[in-house]
């Protein structure tokens, strides 16, 4: 019965996680498709810069708290839950206040740097969304700690559906959309999701209106390296767009975002496998030692490379058709950018699994410093390359940073686990006949 319950947990968790990822991709791609056609190139570029900035701010808050809150609520006795939740809300409140002050203080500065005066009002209005999303994140963490994946999916799905429905109606009936109206819609959709999450989380919500310094310290100490890694990682994939907006214009940032969005479709298998590999690597470390971890890394990376290569080849050969289909003829200049971004997505499995493996064997601090180093290199290269080569410089800089990160990560894994790059290619090659034999061959 215990095994059955464990299997049932993985099936249920995997099913709703898959649904959430697929719905997220669908609504994100659908909204992206519509906004490209409703907003002009400049307005779309400004919206990209706004979304990139707010994603970083949300990561700053969530990166410190999410894993820590979920971990302690799942591991500790229920008698401690009200203290843990209170401590988490305390940290979230302090971080939210700091971030809001930064938004209000630097919003106008970013508007001037990006030559987009409308961003000042947009950032100031977003502060309301930020407060609501902080509460929603806390509710979702509590639900996840109690294995209520269906509830998380429900609130997330309704929020995404509401935003997509708004832009779809505007597109269908030819209504104009202003950027500030999109922020108002964000406020409404986050509020709806927060109310739904509140009613779903009530059976598990135990909170005290006191300050528990011991739990604040525990949550902070647990989450600080994961926080640093999350922030550095999100900066590494958004800094090129932010610097394009500052050095060139929002239009160039928007064009680059189109290439990144199309390339990100290939990250779906990488994200899915990452969720599976983390708990498996921790388990293998306990039962099989480093040899088991080595095999898991090489096999998972090889599988991902095998899954990515057909998609990369297809998008490279038919990039003209895909860009026109997704973004329209106005973004034809994105095609050369797409060719470069497709190359560096091949390094993503190595970097993603590098972090998962090191975290699972307790090397979170090392992961943090490696990601921080690569992010710093990426920022420096983007400044130099964009100034010299324009929008293509951002693609060259990010590709170079991925290559440098690849060699740093492989040298560390070689030392720690004796990982072989050659084996990842062998497993990638073996994937195709193995897949055909197991799933496609008719007996």
pLDDT given at position 128 = 96
Percent above pLDDT 70 for the chain: 88
pLDDT band at 116; cut points 50, 70, 90: very high
Q: What is the mean pLDDT of the chain?
A: 84
pLDDT given at position 1 = 38
pLDDT, tens digit (0-9, with 9 covering 90-100), for 274-321: 444 444 444 555 455 667 778 878 888 888 888 888 889 999 999 999
185/280: higher pLDDT: 185
Q: Return the closest-CA partner of residue 374 out of 326, 406, 420.
A: 406
d(C-alpha 278, C-alpha 273), whole Å: 9
Instruction: Indicate whether 194 pLDDT > 50.
Output: yes
Concatenated DSSP letters of 407-433: HHHHHHHHHHH---HHHHHHHHHHHHH
Q: Which of 179-188, 207-216, 289-298, 399-408 has the lowest mean pLDDT?
A: 289-298
pLDDT given at position 227 = 73
Q: What is the mean pLDDT of residues 190-212?
A: 89
Percent above pLDDT 90 for the chain: 38
pLDDT given at position 43 = 93
First to last CA, the chain: 34
- For tokens 């929020």, the residue is 159
pLDDT given at position 412 = 92
pLDDT given at position 277 = 46
pLDDT given at position 78 = 83
- H-helix segments, 39-80: 41-75
pLDDT given at position 59 = 85
pLDDT, tens digit (0-9, with 9 covering 90-100), for 224-270: 776 776 777 777 778 889 999 988 889 999 989 899 888 887 776 65
Task: Spell out the domain ranges in the chain.
Answer: 1-238, 248-435
Q: What is the mean pLDDT of residues 360-383?
A: 84
pLDDT given at position 12 = 58
d(C-alpha 371, C-alpha 369), whole Å: 6
- For tokens 């999450």, the residue is 197
List b or e across 328-358, with b for residues whose CB sees 16 or more CB atoms inside 10 angstroms. eeebeebeebbebbbbbbbbbbbbbbbbbbb
Cα–chain-centroid distance for residue 196?
23
- For tokens 């990426």, the residue is 378
Instruction: Indicate whether 3 pLDDT > 50.
Output: no
Q: What is the pTM of this model?
A: 0.81
Instruction: Indicate whether 428 pLDDT > 60.
Output: yes
pLDDT band at 165; cut points 50, 70, 90: very high
pLDDT given at position 97 = 94
pLDDT band at 443; cut points 50, 70, 90: very low
- For tokens 């790059």, the residue is 421
- For tokens 């009530």, the residue is 202
Q: Return the closest-CA partner of residue 348 out of 430, 293, 272, 241.
A: 272
Q: Which of 100-104, 119-123, 152-156 has the lowest mean pLDDT?
A: 152-156
């Amino acid at each position: 019965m215990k095994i059955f319950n464990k299997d049932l947990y993985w099936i249920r968790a995997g099913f709703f996680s898959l649904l959430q990822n697929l719905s997220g991709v669908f609504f994100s791609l659908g909204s992206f498709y519509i906004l490209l056609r409703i907003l002009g190139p400049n307005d779309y570029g400004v919206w990209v810069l706004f979304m990139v900035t707010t994603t970083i701010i949300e990561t700053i808050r969530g990166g410190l708290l999410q894993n820590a809150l979920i971990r302690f609520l799942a591991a500790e006795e229920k008698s401690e839950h009200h203290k843990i939740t209170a401590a988490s809300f305390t940290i979230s409140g302090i971080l939210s206040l700091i971030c809001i002050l930064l938004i209000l203080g630097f919003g106008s500065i970013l508007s001037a740097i990006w030559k987009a005066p409308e961003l000042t009002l947009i950032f100031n209005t977003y502060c309301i969304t930020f407060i609501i999303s902080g509460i929603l994140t806390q509710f979702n963490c509590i639900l996840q700690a109690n294995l209520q994946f269906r509830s998380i999916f429900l609130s997330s799905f309704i929020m995404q559906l509401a935003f997509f429905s708004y832009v779809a109606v505007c597109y269908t009936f030819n209504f104009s959309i202003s950027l500030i109206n999109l922020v108002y819609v964000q406020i409404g959709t986050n509020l709806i999701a927060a109310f739904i999450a509140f009613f779903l989380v009530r059976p598990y919500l135990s909170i005290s209106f006191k300050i528990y310094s011991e739990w604040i310290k525990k949550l902070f100490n647990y989450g600080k390296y994961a926080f640093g890694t999350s922030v550095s990682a999100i900066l590494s994939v958004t800094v090129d767009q932010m610097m394009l907006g500052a050095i060139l214009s929002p239009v160039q940032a928007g064009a680059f975002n189109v290439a990144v969005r199309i390339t990100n479709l290939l990250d779906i298998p990488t994200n899915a496998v990452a969720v599976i590999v983390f708990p498996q690597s921790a388990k293998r470390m306990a039962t099989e030692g480093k040899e088991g971890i080595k095999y898991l890394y090489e096999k998972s990376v090889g599988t991902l490379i095998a899954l990515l290569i057909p998609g990369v080849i297809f998008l490279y050969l038919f990039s003209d058709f895909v860009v026109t289909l997704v973004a329209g003829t106005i973004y034809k200049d994105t095609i050369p950018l797409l060719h470069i971004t497709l190359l560096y997505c091949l390094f993503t499995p190595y970097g993603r699994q590098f972090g998962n493996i090191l975290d699972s064997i307790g090397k979170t601090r090392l992961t943090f410093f490696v990601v921080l180093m690569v992010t710093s290199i990426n920022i420096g290269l983007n400044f130099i390359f964009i100034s010299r080569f324009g929008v293509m410089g951002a693609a060259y800089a990010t590709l170079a940073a991925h290559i440098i990160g690849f060699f740093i990560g492989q040298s560390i894994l070689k030392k720690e686990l004796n990982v072989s790059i050659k084996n990842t290619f062998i497993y990638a090659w073996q994937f195709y006949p193995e897949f055909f034999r197991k799933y496609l061959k008719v007996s």
